[in-house]
Structure 1
């Protein structure tokens, strides 16, 4: 059986991982999997049903009745397209919280590994290179300053017609950075063999090309 190629792109919230990973996958002709969207979908459902990570039995029961699929850039939760509903600050915080749940991570990591071993993928998230695919052939850690990431998130939400406050958005990102890097289970960190790419002063195309060149040269 031919070995599949796995490309891991990790980094903090708002670093542009999804945009960059999707474009790199397209240039390579690989499948793109947005793992952050998978966690956001679970966080969204938890908010909708009023389930917290402290309620382990309720959470496990909810997960047993949860179906998450990612196809052609669209995230489906129980058969419904929730792509436009999972990019709010509230869902971001819920995603960060549920990512600390062993039950949630076990379910989603199993699905992610299964995908990555049957097709060539570019996968982005918080712990792809350090946990999901420690054997990934290529690993990148994409980052940018918190202020730059807050500006990007504000622009993204404004383009969708949502009212945003920069100060609140920055606080949300800083809080999520802390949560992601301090959780006990698979915290956000750069893999020892990952290439760090700081996109603070790079355009989207410059960042895409930089990663693409590392892979193809």
Structure 2
């Protein structure tokens, strides 16, 4: 049996912005035939709902009421909030900043963490985010922590934004990435950390295929050692 009692493993990939988590997780899931669970996209979906409602991003009656009325679903690569496809709308710097604030609030975590655990429970899944191996699935069969130096991460993040038609200077992107790092690592609730037992993969000088090979090697090693 695996650590979570399943024949196909639960795989988590955590790390800061620009480390290459999203592309690595997506391709790893595709190669393995696993489901992909982008936990960050779920939080971004809630952030979009908060932004649309125009309520303050703080623990209080307005936020709790909104959370009760809001559903967030992943449908393949799409993110649905109350049935509406908001995939493109949640990938803006403003939503990213709001997401970082909301993820530090108990009611937000209380809504999404149990849902994420339930979605991962069947195994055969790759979870991507900032607390998947430390909070959501601490007993995951394979845990990774992807990282890279700040210049590499800033360039990648700027490229991601440019691909979506958002033109932001490198200096501004670098500062936004550093600010997000500080927020995510300093929060008391589910801070960004390298989970215990997570394999560190520094992607600074690695291309996407080299990163993927490293991830696949580790997952296949665990799969081969899993009793029938």
Q: TM-score, normalised by structure 2?
A: 0.91
Stretch moving more, 58-67 or 146-155: 146-155
Aligned to 1:71: 75
1:115 aligns to 2:115 (yes or no): no
Please list every run of 5 or more consecutive structure 1 residues that lacks an aligned counterpart in the other structure. none
1:200 aligns to 2:208 (yes or no): no
Select the residue among 57, 81, 84 that pairs with 2:85.
81
**1:88–1:31 distance in 2 versus 1, CA, 3 Å:** same
For residue 179 of structure 1, give the secondary structure of its aligned residue in structure 2.
helix
1:10 aligns to 2:14 (yes or no): yes
Q: Is the 8 A contact 1:60 1:103 kept in 2?
A: yes
Aligned to 1:106: 110
Aligned to 1:189: 193
CA deviation map 1:32-71 (0-9, x unaligned):
0100101111112212222223251111100111111012
Report deviation, 1:118.
Answer: 2.4
1:216 aligns to 2:220 (yes or no): yes
Select the residue among 19, 23, 27 that pairs with 1:19.
23
Q: TM-score, normalised by structure 1?
A: 0.96
Q: Is the 8 A contact 1:12 1:143 kept in 2?
A: yes
Aligned to 2:146: 142
For residue 54 of structure 1, give the secondary structure of its aligned residue in structure 2.
coil
Aligned to 1:173: 177
Q: Is the 8 A contact 2:40 2:129 kept in 1?
A: yes
Report deviation, 1:129.
Answer: 0.8
Aligned to 2:40: 36
Q: Is the 8 A contact 1:112 1:132 kept in 2?
A: yes
Report deviation, 1:95.
Answer: 0.7
Please list every run of 5 or more consecutive structure 2 residues that lacks an aligned counterpart in the other structure. 222-228
Aligned to 2:225: none
Aligned to 1:154: 158
Cα separation, 2, equivalents of 1:18 and 1:211: 13
Cα separation, 1, equivalents of 2:157 and 2:114: 29
